[in-house]
Amino acid sequence: MEDLQKERQISPLPPVVIKGLLVIPKGFINKLAGKQTAQSAQSRDTQQAAAKARAIIMDVERGLGFEPQDKEFEKLGYDIESRVPGKGQLGFLEVKGRITGADVVTVSRNEILYSLNKPDDFILAIVEFQGDTHKVHYLRRAFQREPDFGVMSVNYNSAELLARAGEPS
């Protein structure tokens, strides 16, 4: 009992700091110094390629006699809404720009779900960049089933998608 009574009187001392460490992310230092990080350059390059691919598909759609509208920033599950003049019918195009030989095409869960909800009206449009030139592929009914509940995106084999794709129409 006497030992228990002594333990009740124990009080911790304030901590004594022996060493300290401050971690500053390199990206933060580069930003303060005005340097461009590799990640931000890659992100900008990807955004530029996506914008270029959308512009190409918009031109293709106009050439086919449709009236396309860029909806990329509305996050609807597709990038371009293309209207058939005089009929009011809409086509929905998800655009992916890839360099020739790229291994994968990444598609979001939202894009897959939209394609499954509008299977006759949805097109996966792949713009294959070959140096200064490009080739356009349209893939209808690109996806067969919805991803599992927790999946945010799916990587598809580019070569397999391109093998199933056809010319714009």
State the alpha helices, DSSP H only, in the chain. Answer: 2-8, 26-33, 38-63, 109-117, 158-164
pLDDT in tens, 15-29: 888 888 888 888 888
pLDDT in tens, 87-115: 889 999 999 998 888 899 999 999 999 99
Cα angle for residues 42, 48, 52 (degrees, 5° grid): 145
Q: Please name which of 122, 102, 120 lies closest in space to residue 112, comparing C-alpha atoms.
A: 122
Concatenating the DSSP letter of every residue in 101-117 gives T-SEEEEEHHHHHHHHH
Domain regions of the chain by residue span:
25-164
Structural contact between residues 82 and 133, judged by C-beta atoms closer than 8 angstroms:
no
CATH class of the region 25-164: alpha beta
Is pTM, for the whole model, over 0.75? no
**pLDDT computed for residue 43 by the predictor:** 47
pLDDT in tens, 30-57: 888 887 655 544 444 577 888 999 999 9
**Residue 11: DSSP 8-state:** -
